[in-house]
Chains A and B, each alone.
Chain A
Amino acid sequence: MSERIDIAKTYKLYVGGAFPRSESGRSYQVTDSRGKFLANAAQASRKDVRDAVAAARKAFPGWSGATAYNRGQVLYRVAEMLQGRREQFLNELAASEGVPVKRAQSIVDTAIDRWVWYAGWTDKVATVLGAANPVAGPYFCFTVPEPTGVVGVFAPQQSSLLGLVSVLAPVLAGGNTAVLIASQDRPLPAITLSEVLATSDLPGGVANVLTGRTGELAPWLVSHADVNAVDLCGTPESQRAELERSAANTVKRVVPAPAHEPDWMAAPDIRRLRGYLEPKTVWHPMGV
């Protein structure tokens, strides 16, 4: 009896709910932390960025218009699916980040818990950040946080799963749609996460994941006029100032890159949620 040969996965992009190859036909080799070949990943092009932004924009009305309860359920479903694929993530994480198994377990578990944490925020953020404004006049005036729109997210380069979840989940929890550029050298967990998203009732286009050269894609994503906000976390340091300048052309909200990648294991707060929310104030007279 001969030993069975595994079926190797083809890692593709995740755009508009589908898994296309890069329109450019390019791919690049992904290796583990010791340089051993793991897989070929699609190397997205500027046109893939364009398609992903279009998909995210198309998905925005539906996702932002869904009830907060519904968004919470969908995001919780993502956590369930993450839990189901725990072993796969453990293996990919151990390979790509080169961490011991115990550490990998802890990271994956935290990533799952983080997703649950943000899932629970969808129907609370308006209570916490919104307000009934006691204006000096016969008006009912209230403020509600609304999603900013399409957010370009540069996932952290080091923490390929927990970091990724920590930057993506708050974008989605607030009702935004995302175009995420995965860690350049550690893209595999991002693609596997895409597969989770695709099977979690998350409408196609709400999250779009591109793999490739961050430095090549960043100027296209950040300058895209239909992108409302960007998280520059995983961008190359040498490009950051220029990217911020580019973001200014359409007054994008910019979540700047931290000087050093933070410890993603630390408990989060709601800053990242707030970063992609627009408080909207509505006035109406009160009379008979």
Chain B
Amino acid sequence: MEPVWEYAPAPESRDIAGAKPSYRMFVDGQFVEGAGEPLKSINPATEEVLTEVSTASPSDVDNAVKAARRAYDKTWRKMPGNERAKYIFRIARMIAERARELAVLESLDNGKPIKESRDADIPTASAHFFYHAGWADKLEYAGLGADPKPIGVAGQIIPWNFPLLMAAWKIAPALACGNTVVLKPAETTPLTALVLAEICQQAELPPGVVNILPGAGDVGAELVNHEQVDKIAFTGSTEVGKLIQRSLAGKGKKLTLELGGKAANVVFDDAPLDQAVEGIVNGIFFNQGHVCCAGSRLLVQESVAEELLDKLRKRISTLRLGDPLDKNTDIGAINSAEQLAKIRELTAAGEAEGASRWTSPCPVPERGFFFAPTIFADVQQSMRIAREEIFGPVLSVLTFRTPDEAVSKANNTPYGLSAGVWTEKGSRILWLAGKMRAGVVWANTFNRFDPTAPFGGYQESGFGREGGRTGLEAYLDE
């Protein structure tokens, strides 16, 4: 027998995160105690309490909005674009300087593997600030008229799947366009946003330009309904997005929404199969599948379905699940007990509805919220696992016979955030890219993000874009 080569544990030290026993909210340039019920942020990989975070009460929201309003009226809107840019550049650099600390903290708080927070979340967050900083003094070239104006105070509500990165996606364009912000990070992942607040402070950003209010949905609702908030930007579930759109009805506030998805990843028989396997794996298992644009529906041409699934199962078997801080971990922890319960419920529904389940035989830690990578074959369009967003490491596999069938199945969803296509035939890629009712189409790749590339959805995946010139439209008055 050959000896089996097992990788020794290679954990990043959790001390690098510099996690403090308690965190406070950030209002008007100061860290202050919130009057809301403090929340306990837990490490989803161990279920241990990581730290305590103060949350905002309605009067805290009011104070923060007023601070943002003051900063907007007195400082930020009047500041020349090139000066605004310098602050945003500073923030970009300081995120990069503290990248390792932020990566470890993100993995502790969120459960995502350190290799992803280190190689994707944190560098891309820094890049977003860097990119948008450059826009601040060039807005007259954004195609929105000779002298486009900021909107005012932006209320921003972000999800738990990419905590710092989503904060960057929201704050960077808002600031570049001359708005001030009140941002509410997700209840389960407030920590890196509060380090970002510290960075804003160290960058000497004028007080009130950025305010960070941890808390649950009630703080978000308070922010959405505050009279002095001019614009709401929300990333999260379609369900909450609809609530926000409803509650803003008739109020005349600007709104952009980046919501759920149920992306189809379409593999043709002439695809570069090994890279398609990588793309499928990256599409659904990146960040434990907690990705709104995850390629959660694999549509594979019948003639290669068996071969592709064999390759896929073998590849998925090599994925290493476990300690998010281990540098060799591919799949970390599910962010919360609630999310784990939802994934379990939907996978149970998949089995009950007759789909064939395969789950990676990888070992699963006894403590913490973990879910082994899972594939459902023989999935039909009518099943819940083909229609509902699972937001976990669960792939539903459907087959098709012709390009038209692939398109009609891919588009057969109220969502429209992203889509994937794999084929070596160039003209087919462009044909399919045109037919997909989705805001982002990845051809022979998946889950690529860049500050220069607009991102956002069709239909119930929301409206408005983030990134690129188009993304500025969300923060400039028309």
Q: Which residues of A contact B (CB under 8 A)?
A: 65, 128-129, 131, 133-137, 139, 141, 143, 146, 148-149, 225, 228, 240-245, 247-251, 253, 256, 269, 271, 274, 278-285
Q: Once the chains are docked, how many angstroms separate the CA of A149 from the CA of B414?
A: 13
Q: Once the chains are docked, how many angstroms separate the CA of A274 from the CA of B321?
A: 45
From B245, B454, B468, contact of A247 by CB (8 A): B245
* B440:A280 contact, CB within 8 angstroms: yes
From A143, A247, A251, contact of B459 by CB (8 A): A251
Q: How far is the CB of A171 from chain B (nearest CB, A)?
A: 16
- Within 8 Å CB of B436, what residues of A? 280
* B441:A279 contact, CB within 8 angstroms: no
- The reply on B475 being an interface residue by CB < 8 A is no
From A143, A149, A248, A251, contact of B249 by CB (8 A): A248
* A136:B450 contact, CB within 8 angstroms: yes
* B429:A256 contact, CB within 8 angstroms: no
- The reply on B304 being an interface residue by CB < 8 A is no
Known interface pairs A242-B249, A279-B465; A249-B242 also in contact (CB < 8 Å): yes
Known interface pairs A133-B453, A135-B453; A278-B448 also in contact (CB < 8 Å): no
From A137, A225, A269, contact of B448 by CB (8 A): A137
Shortest Cβ-Cβ A-B pairs, 9 listed: A241-B250, A244-B249, A248-B245, A135-B450, A245-B249, A133-B453, A248-B246, A133-B452, A284-B443
For this complex, 29 residue pairs linking A to B, each with C-beta atoms less than 8 Å apart, are A131-B470, A133-B454, A143-B453, A143-B454, A225-B414, A228-B459, A243-B249, A244-B250, A247-B245, A248-B242, A250-B459, A251-B459, A251-B460, A271-B478, A279-B439, A279-B454, A279-B456, A279-B465, A280-B438, A280-B439, A280-B440, A281-B440, A282-B441, A283-B442, A283-B453, A284-B429, A284-B443, A284-B444, A284-B445
* B454:A240 contact, CB within 8 angstroms: no
Q: Once the chains are docked, how many angstroms separate the CA of A240 from the CA of B441?
A: 35
From A131, A139, A256, A274, contact of B469 by CB (8 A): A131
From A65, A129, A249, A283, contact of B440 by CB (8 A): A283
From A129, A251, A271, A282, contact of B433 by CB (8 A): A282
Contact with A along B78-99 (1 / 0, CB 8 A): 0000000000000000000000
Most chain A CB neighbours (cut-off 10 Å) among B245, B444, B453: B453
* B452:A283 contact, CB within 8 angstroms: no
* B448:A283 contact, CB within 8 angstroms: yes
- The reply on B257 being an interface residue by CB < 8 A is yes
- The reply on B455 being an interface residue by CB < 8 A is yes
Q: Once the chains are docked, how many angstroms separate the CA of A253 from the CA of B238?
A: 14
- Within 8 Å CB of A256, what residues of B? 252
* A278:B450 contact, CB within 8 angstroms: no
Q: Once the chains are docked, how many angstroms separate the CA of A283 from the CA of B241?
A: 27
* A245:B444 contact, CB within 8 angstroms: no
* A285:B246 contact, CB within 8 angstroms: no
From A139, A141, A278, contact of B458 by CB (8 A): A278
Q: How far is the CB of A131 from chain B (nearest CB, A)?
A: 6
- The reply on B65 being an interface residue by CB < 8 A is no
- Within 8 Å CB of B468, what residues of A? 131, 133, 143, 281
From A136, A244, A250, contact of B460 by CB (8 A): A250
Contact with A along B192-222 (1 / 0, CB 8 A): 0000000000000000000000000000000
Q: How far is the CB of B264 from chain A (nearest CB, A)?
A: 15
- Within 8 Å CB of A271, what residues of B? 478
* B448:A279 contact, CB within 8 angstroms: no
Q: Which residues of B contact A (CB under 8 A)?
A: 127, 143, 145, 238, 241-243, 245-246, 248-250, 252, 257, 259, 414, 429, 433-434, 436-445, 448, 450, 452-456, 458-463, 465, 468-470, 473, 478
Known interface pairs A128-B143, A129-B143, A241-B249; A281-B462 also in contact (CB < 8 Å): no
* B439:A285 contact, CB within 8 angstroms: no
Most chain B CB neighbours (cut-off 10 Å) among A134, A135, A256, A279: A279
Q: Once the chains are docked, how many angstroms separate the CA of A240 from the CA of B250?
A: 6
Q: Once the chains are docked, how many angstroms separate the CA of A136 from the CA of B462?
A: 26
* B439:A135 contact, CB within 8 angstroms: no
Q: How far is the CB of A284 from chain B (nearest CB, A)?
A: 4
Known interface pairs A244-B250, A248-B242, A285-B444; A129-B470 also in contact (CB < 8 Å): yes
From A137, A241, A249, contact of B450 by CB (8 A): A137
Q: How far is the CB of A128 from chain B (nearest CB, A)?
A: 6
Q: How far is the CB of B254 from chain A (nearest CB, A)?
A: 10
- Within 8 Å CB of B460, what residues of A? 250-251
Q: Once the chains are docked, how many angstroms separate the CA of A280 from the CA of B468?
A: 12
Q: Once the chains are docked, how many angstroms separate the CA of A284 from the CA of B443?
A: 5
* A136:B445 contact, CB within 8 angstroms: no
Q: Which residue of A lies closest to B418 (CB)?
A: A281
Q: How far is the CB of A49 from chain B (nearest CB, A)?
A: 20
Q: Once the chains are docked, how many angstroms separate the CA of A261 from the CA of B238?
A: 33
* B127:A136 contact, CB within 8 angstroms: yes
- Within 8 Å CB of B248, what residues of A? 244
Q: Once the chains are docked, how many angstroms separate the CA of A253 from the CA of B259?
A: 14
* A133:B439 contact, CB within 8 angstroms: no
Beyond the given pairs A135-B452, A139-B445, 12 more chain A to chain B contacts, judged by CB atoms under 8 angstroms and listed by A's residue number, are: A129-B143, A135-B450, A141-B450, A143-B453, A143-B468, A225-B414, A247-B249, A248-B245, A250-B460, A279-B454, A282-B442, A283-B440
Q: Once the chains are docked, how many angstroms separate the CA of A284 from the CA of B426?
A: 10
- Within 8 Å CB of B241, what residues of A? 251
- Within 8 Å CB of B458, what residues of A? 148, 228, 278
Q: How far is the CB of A175 from chain B (nearest CB, A)?
A: 11
Q: Once the chains are docked, how many angstroms separate the CA of A244 from the CA of B246?
A: 7
- Within 8 Å CB of A285, what residues of B? 444-445
Most chain B CB neighbours (cut-off 10 Å) among A146, A240, A249, A282: A282
Known interface pairs A251-B257, A251-B459, A279-B465; A135-B470 also in contact (CB < 8 Å): no
- Within 8 Å CB of A250, what residues of B? 414, 459-460
Q: Once the chains are docked, how many angstroms separate the CA of A129 from the CA of B144?
A: 10
Q: How far is the CB of B359 from chain A (nearest CB, A)?
A: 30
Q: How far is the CB of B148 from chain A (nearest CB, A)?
A: 12
Q: Once the chains are docked, how many angstroms separate the CA of A271 from the CA of B476?
A: 12
Q: How far is the CB of A104 from chain B (nearest CB, A)?
A: 31
- Within 8 Å CB of B127, what residues of A? 136
* A281:B439 contact, CB within 8 angstroms: yes
Most chain A CB neighbours (cut-off 10 Å) among B238, B259, B438: B438
* A281:B455 contact, CB within 8 angstroms: yes
Q: Which residue of A lies closest to B426 (CB)?
A: A284
- Within 8 Å CB of B443, what residues of A? 282-284
Q: Which residue of B lies closest to A284 (CB)?
A: B443
Q: Which residue of B lies closest to A142 (CB)?
A: B453
Q: Which residue of A lies closest to B478 (CB)?
A: A271
- Within 8 Å CB of B448, what residues of A? 135, 137, 139, 141, 283
Q: How far is the CB of B146 from chain A (nearest CB, A)?
A: 12
Q: Once the chains are docked, how many angstroms separate the CA of A242 from the CA of B436?
A: 32
Q: How far is the CB of B107 from chain A (nearest CB, A)?
A: 23
- Within 8 Å CB of A278, what residues of B? 439, 458
From A141, A228, A244, contact of B453 by CB (8 A): A141
